[in-house]
């Protein structure tokens, strides 16, 4: 659904920006893993595509609020970073398919790289409600880009932090710490969000331990509702066939082992409808 949300508060979280927006309807329907899209630049904006944003927190206050986390990457997110309390935002959501939740109170490791961590907090709340054990591994290039370390420490049994420059926690990447966390916590499942490269590496680790891994991908998209076909990636279906599926509609959450990470950014030759795969082509 589309909602004109009102900005309640804004804050800087280290290298990131967070906006809390009153968005009734979106907040109450939100499930962990869902995202929202926002129009940027105001009424006569020259920016025509929407920005997909991660939801860090959902509250019932003021009829329902969502906290959106982003990093400034271009003029659209720069505009968002300039929003102040009482400004309005055009939001559409909740979008995409949320994280599937375990039926039993299992042990879950939640892995977040960069601000991908944000989406894991509503998930952690839900897992804890179900009696799951939650452990966090959060990482980034440097300390100011590790998102949510404090909140993770409050929520989780253990929180392991990694930075590539060693400015916080262990020096290295999340996947350097992940095997021992999985082993120590006797984890039953892994959830991850972050750049494609870290999702690839997290999936490889989980597969080594032979435990299920759910990843939330961050693909750039124009519409967020499944009509523009620009956010596709190669994913293996239940029938074993690879299809170019939409991150916004079939995702953003996928079973890690189903995503062909090595082939993201290409059309694998064996994908359904790939050029030369028996398909004659037009257009």
Contact positions vs other proteins (CB under 8 A): 1-2, 39, 46-50, 76, 90, 92, 219-223, 225-233, 243-244, 249, 264-267, 271-275, 277-283
User: Taking the complex as a whole, how short is the minimal distance between the CB of residue 144 and other proteins, in angstroms?
Assistant: 20
Phi and psi at residue 69, to the nearest 5°: -120, 135
Shortest spacing between CB 129 and other proteins, in angstroms: 28
* Least distance in angstroms from the C-beta of 93 to other proteins: 11
- Whether residue 93 contacts residue 26, with contact meaning beta carbons closer than 8 Å, is answered with yes
Report, in Å, the least distance between residue 61 CB and other proteins.
27
Nearer to other proteins by Cβ, of 12 and 44: the residue is 44
Residue linked to tokens 């239940």: 238
Q: How far is CA 93 from CA 120, 171, 206, in A?
A: 18, 37, 30
Contact 52, 39 (CB under 8 A): no
Number of H helices, E strands in the chain: 6, 15
Closer by beta carbon to other proteins, 8 or else 245: 245
Neighbours of 43 (CB within 10 A): 6
How many CA atoms lie less than 13 Å away from 153 in the CB half-sphere?
7
Task: Compare residues 170 and 267 and give the one whose CB is closer to other proteins.
Answer: 267
Q: Pick the closer one to other proteins by CB: 106 or 223.
A: 223
- Residue 166 or residue 275: which is nearer to other proteins going by CB? 275
Question: What's the closest the beta carbon of residue 233 comes to other proteins, in angstroms?
Answer: 7
């Amino acid at each position: 659904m589309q909602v004109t949300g009102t900005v309640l508060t804004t804050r800087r979280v280290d290298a990131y920006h967070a906006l809390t927006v009153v968005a009734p309807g979106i907040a109450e329907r939100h499930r962990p893993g869902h995202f929202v899209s926002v129009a940027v630049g105001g009424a006569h904006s020259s920016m025509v595509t929407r920005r997909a944003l991660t939801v860090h927190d959902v509250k019932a206050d003021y009829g329902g609020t969502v906290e959106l986390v982003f990093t400034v990457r271009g003029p659209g997110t720069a505009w968002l970073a300039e929003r102040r309390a009482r400004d309005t935002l055009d939001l559409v959501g909740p979008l995409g398919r949320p994280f599937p939740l375990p039926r039993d109170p299992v042990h879950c490791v939640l892995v977040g790289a960069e601000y991908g961590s944000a989406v894991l907090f509503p998930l952690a709340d839900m897992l804890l409600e179900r009696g799951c054990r939650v452990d966090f591994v959060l990482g980034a290039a440097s300390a100011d880009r590790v998102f949510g370390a404090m909140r993770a420490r409050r929520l989780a049994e253990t929180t392991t932090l990694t930075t590539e420059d060693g400015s916080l926690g262990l020096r290295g990447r999340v996947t350097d710490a992940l095997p021992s966390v999985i082993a120590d916590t006797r984890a039953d499942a892994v959830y991850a969000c972050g750049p494609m490269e870290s999702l690839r590496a997290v999936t490889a680790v989980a597969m080594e331990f032979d435990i299920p891994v759910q990843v939330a991908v961050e693909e750039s998209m124009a519409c967020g509702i499944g009509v523009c076909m620009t956010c596709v990636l190669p994913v293996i279906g239940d029938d074993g066939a690879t299809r170019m599926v939409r991150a916004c509609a079939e995702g953003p959450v996928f079973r890690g082992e189903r995503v062909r990470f090595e082939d993201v950014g290409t059309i694998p030759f064996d994908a359904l409808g790939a050029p030369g795969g028996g398909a004659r082509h037009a257009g």
